[in-house]
């Protein structure tokens, strides 16, 4: 059974951050993306991203809660770094 969580963020840069995250991780991990949707396959699970207008939706899927927590942490830390001009609050909901 998979452990799944979602974070929904409001930002005028939703598509930009989706692409930036995917491009960053594409150097090391299997990644596919368009301006509206993408995924990144980490060793501990998958992060699926969707940008629609000013909404960025992140979904973390992992085999267990511990792996999901690690995945959430990695994605959130990178996103906050990319969005340093904004005060993004990332809250994951299982």
Assess if residue 91 is contained within a domain: no
Structural domain of 58: 3-82
Assess if residue 35 is contained within a domain: yes
Assess if residue 61 is contained within a domain: yes
Assess if residue 62 is contained within a domain: yes
Cα separation of 50 and 38, whole Å? 7
Please state the separation of Cα 6 from the chain's center in Å: 9
CATH number of the domain to which 29 belongs = 3.30.310.50
Q: How many domains does the chain have?
A: 1
Assess if residue 20 is contained within a domain: yes
pLDDT per residue as tens digits for the range 5-41: 999 999 999 999 999 999 999 999 999 999 999 999 9
Which of the four pLDDT bands, split at 50, 70 and 90, describes residue 42? very high
pLDDT per residue as tens digits for the range 44-60: 999 999 999 999 999 99
Q: What global pTM score does this model have? A: 0.94
Assess if residue 38 is contained within a domain: yes
């Amino acid at each position: 059974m998979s452990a799944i969580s979602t974070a929904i963020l409001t930002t005028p840069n939703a598509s930009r951050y989706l692409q930036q995250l995917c491009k960053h991780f594409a150097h090391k991990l299997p990644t596919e993306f368009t301006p509206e949707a993408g995924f990144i396959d980490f060793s501990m699970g998958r992060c699926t991203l969707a940008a629609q207008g000013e909404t960025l939706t992140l979904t973390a899927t992992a085999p267990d809660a511990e792996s999901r927590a690690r995945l959430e942490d990695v994605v959130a830390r990178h996103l906050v770094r990319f969005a340093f001009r904004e005060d993004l609050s990332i809250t994951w909901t299982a």
